[in-house]
Amino acid sequence: MDPAVAAVAATAATTLVTAMTTDAWDHTRRGFGRLLRLGGRAGEGGGAGAEAELEHARETVLAAYERGDAAALGEAHENWAARLGAALEANAHRSAECERLLRELIAGQPGADGEIRALGAALRGAGAREVYSQVIQSGGAGAQGPGASVTVNHHHGPGAAQAGIPRGES
């Protein structure tokens, strides 16, 4: 997982798991439900099941909180950080929407603003990693895609000068 995605997912998971034990739960559940529904994949918290899954998770967290079970709370945090990170990476093409939802959900958390900016850059960069290239043996090369570049080096072996090809030019 991209480090920027992991950082904001961890902060978001902290907000989510903490809100499960407070009066802010209804607002938080709706917001995280929207974030999980971005991908629209049923069976992974997408669609109508996202808020129901969050409500079930809240019951588990509340029980662990009442028992004082720090290990179960930590496990819930880790699970939600992974789920949220996966949802963010799966929706890199919707980076602006992800950023807006996260600003609404984790505002006020220490370092959240910087994490969201880094997340946005990471998500926007995820789509820019694809570069298409073509090399033509006797004619040249080209690359297409955001930030793409081409370096062409011509290296001629023995006998190149005899064929009228200057040696070492690029």
157: its two tokens: 């072996």
Confidence at residue 48, expressed as pLDDT on a 0 to 100 scale: 64
Give backbone dihedrals phi and psi of 2, rounded to 5 degrees, phi first: -55, 135
Are the C-beta atoms of 39 and 46 separated by less than 8 Å?
yes
- 3: Cβ contacts below 8 Å, ≥ 6 apart: 122
Q: What whole-number percentage of the chain has pLDDT above 70?
A: 68
Query: Comparing 129 with 110, which gets the higher pLDDT?
Result: 110
Q: Is the pLDDT at 157 greater than 70, yes or no? A: no
Q: Is the pLDDT at 154 greater than 90, yes or no? A: no
pTM value is 0.63
How high is the mean pLDDT of the chain? 74
Q: What is the pLDDT of residues 50-69, one digit of tens each?
A: 888 999 999 999 999 999 99
Q: Is the pLDDT at 19 greater than 70, yes or no? A: yes
The residue among 116, 104, 21, 99 whose CA lies nearest residue 59 is 21
